[in-house]
Amino acid sequence: MRKPLVAGNWKMNGLRASLLELSMMARAYTPVLRARVEMLICPPVTLLFPAAASALGSGIKVGAQDCHAKASGAHTGDLSAEMLFDGGASAVIVGHSERRADHGETDADVKAKAEAVIGQAMLAIICVGETRAQREAGKALSVVQKQVKGSVPAGVSADQIVIAYEPVWAIGTGLTPTIADIAEIHADIRKTLARLLGKETAAKTRILYGGSVKPSNAKEILALADVDGALVGGASLKAVDFMGIVEAA
Ligand code: 13P
């Protein structure tokens, strides 16, 4: 019922030469894979337009990593959801933990950004996840519940949002939670979504896992019932690694 989504977040990595990796991904995204798994690459915004052009016809979608909540105005250096759509994006990541940490983004900010993305008929990928200290204090579930409640706009449908669960301590560290911990938190996120959006919408909404996903651990993680894909950082920069994860999905 839920088609898996494997999304790559290139973060602040990638120059024009990196588009070669995207071309290789496009060639490796066969009709069989296309039928079974959705693929999205979120390059830095300097590459958005050429990435959309080089992915054209391949079925790979291209997205952005953040946007401003407002439609336009005096916000030097910021980009609106409409600009990103105009540049070729069909999805935007909002509330990544690196933005929450580096730019002080709150749940309310993330919700406003998600609303802007949805307002442009793009997919909002809403990120949540606990820090190491919060997990060690036994607060992972409650922290993530609060983030989901505060960051997901009211009344959205399952094709407008994706939730990405990314434990902060698993990002770029090579560490991952146990399979049981991932299963527990994804099931709990679906429960929270059911309370917010209704059972039917929650059952259709995709929940991705992110944090040190590699070809070698993807199969086990993606096999979990409530894991509907992955949000991949480091391993999305190289076609061979990323396609290994797409194939696992
Ligand atoms: P890594 O896959 O490099 O751990 O990054 C995960 C992430 O933050 C994706 O948004």
**pLDDT confidence bin for 85, thresholds 50/70/90:** very high
pLDDT for res 220 = 98
Residue-wise pLDDT tens digits, 117-172? 999 999 999 999 999 999 999 999 999 999 999 999 999 999 999 999 999 999 99
Q: Catalytic residue positions?
A: 96, 166
Helices and strands (DSSP H and E) totals, the chain: 12, 8
pLDDT for res 225 = 97
The phi and psi torsions of 176 (rounded to 5 degrees) equal -135, 155
- Sequence spans of domains, the chain: 5-66+77-248
Task: Tell me which of 9, 128, 245 to substitute to probe ligand 1's pocket, judged by most ligand atoms within 8 Å of the beta carbon.
Answer: 9
CATH (residue range 5-66+77-248): 3.20.20.70
Closest CA to 8 of 230, 240, 247, 248: 230
Residue-wise pLDDT tens digits, 203-247? 999 999 999 999 999 999 999 999 999 999 999 999 999 999 999
State the distance from the centre of ligand 1 to the C-alpha of 171, rounded, in angstroms. 5
Residue-wise pLDDT tens digits, 5-28? 999 999 999 999 999 999 999 999
Q: 1 pLDDT exceeds 90? A: no
Whether 213 lines ligand 1, by a CB cut-off of 6 Å, is yes
Task: Tell me which of 10, 11, 162 to substitute to probe ligand 1's pocket, judged by most ligand atoms within 8 Å of the beta carbon.
Answer: 11
Which ligand 1 atom lies nearest to the CA of residue 236? 2
DSSP 231: E
What mean pLDDT is predicted for residues 38-44?
98
